[in-house]
Amino acid sequence: MAYNSSLKFREEVHDIVGAAMAVHGELGCGFTEKVYQDALEVEFQERSIPYLRESSIHATYHGVHLKAEFIPDFICYDGIIVELKAVKELEDTHRSQAINYARVAGYEIALLLNFGETSLKFERFVVSKKFV
């Protein structure tokens, strides 16, 4: 049976989204991204979801390590980039940011969470490790 990469980290993504739904269910919309980030960190701790918060990653270009750093909101399960937003509506630039963070980190999964709407919105991306 062939492995389907679209199912990679399925349960882990489910756990992360569940934690985010709990945060949104209690706080609703209207706060800044940092408030949701703080609350989600508490929820991750309570649910024993392994994470790194605001851990910097660096890109390479033509084999050269670039000085610029990228700081995703969370890296969960040592393989999922989790990027938070608190905006009226997700835009393509938000999607690109999550996808590019995953590419730079060498991860296959990016999860974009938006707390800025009346119900939590999330998008999951399976990411190619190569820039196109």
Domain ranges of the chain: 9-126
9-126, CATH topology level: Lambda Exonuclease; Chain A (3.90.320)
For residue 58, the surrounding DSSP H or E stretch is strand 57-61
pTM: 0.89
Confidence of residue 63 (pLDDT cuts 50, 70, 90): confident
CA 98/CA 126 separation, integer angstroms: 11
User: Among residues 79, 77, 123, which one has the least CA distance to residue 101?
Assistant: 79
Question: What is residue 132's predicted lDDT score, i.e. its pLDDT?
Answer: 45
Confidence of residue 129 (pLDDT cuts 50, 70, 90): low
pLDDT of residue 6 exceeding 70, the answer is no
Question: What is residue 3's predicted lDDT score, i.e. its pLDDT?
Answer: 40
Question: What is residue 35's predicted lDDT score, i.e. its pLDDT?
Answer: 98
Mean pLDDT along residues 55-73: 89
Confidence of residue 60 (pLDDT cuts 50, 70, 90): confident
DSSP class of 37: H
